[in-house]
Each structure stands twice: as C-alpha cells, then as structure tokens.
Amino acid sequence: MRIGELARRTGVSERLLRYYEDQGLLAPTRRASGYREYSPSDVVVVAHIRNLLAAGLSTATIADVLPCMGKDGERLIADCPELVDDLHRERERITASIHALEAARATLDTIIATAPPTLTRTAAT
C-alpha cells in the first residue's frame, strides 16, 4: 500500500510516517517510481510505535528496542534480555518525571491556596 493508505488506516499523518521512516522505525520498499510501498504489517508496526511513544519512549529509544520486541498477536513482548534492562531504565525515568510533575502540582496547589477568595473565584470563571 502507498503512504496515503497507511495514513488512512493508522490515523497517522503522511508527514509523521515519513518522520518515522527517517528515524528508522519504518522501512518501506521503494517502487521504481520512487513511491513508498508499505505492507499490511506496517499498520501494526505504526500502532506499536504509537503505543511506545504514548508510554513515554523517544523515537531513538523505540528504534533501539523495536527490533528486539516480539509479538504475541497484536501485543508487544520483550524478546531480548537487554531489552528488559532498557525498559526498566525507561520506566524509572518516567517514574522520576511523574514525581517531578506531582511536586510541581503540589507547589501550584499551595500557591493557589494562598490566593484571596476573590482571585480564586475570578480564575474559576
């Protein structure tokens, strides 16, 4: 299938699909005309990329771990021992980010709580 069809099937823009290719996440074949040719399995690959991005992984990290992931139907599974270590590091990084965001939110809650009631009501409307 061509890039427009992959974009339609995945809901991902053609521009983003080209970016994924530039990052080494997708490897379409090229026709003699220069058009990209994607396989039906690329629809699943794009879904996996989107899920890993949503999990907080960078495209560089995804490029490293995606080839080492197996599939159990539509679900990704860790298929290499070194992958598990990388994923644990990513999980720790995400956890640290969550803690930092929670601390920032607590600071804002403290500052908001000190505001006079008239300002609080104005901001709420």
pTM for this prediction: 0.70
Burial 71-104 (b: 16+ CB within 10 A, else e): eeeeebeeeeeebeebbeebeeeeeeeeeeeeee
DSSP codes of every residue in 28-40 = -EE-TTS-EE--T
Report residue 91 as tokens: 């999980």
For residue range 69-119, what is the model confidence (pLDDT) as tens digits?
776 766 777 777 777 888 888 889 889 999 999 999 999 999 999 988 887
Residue 6: which of 30, 47, 14 has the closest Cα? 14
Amino acid letter for position 1: M
Residue from 23, 27, 22, 24 nearest 6 by CA: 27
* pLDDT tens digits, one per residue of 39-77: 998 998 999 899 889 988 889 989 988 887 776 766 777
The C-alpha atoms of residue 42 and residue 99 are separated, in whole angstroms, by 35
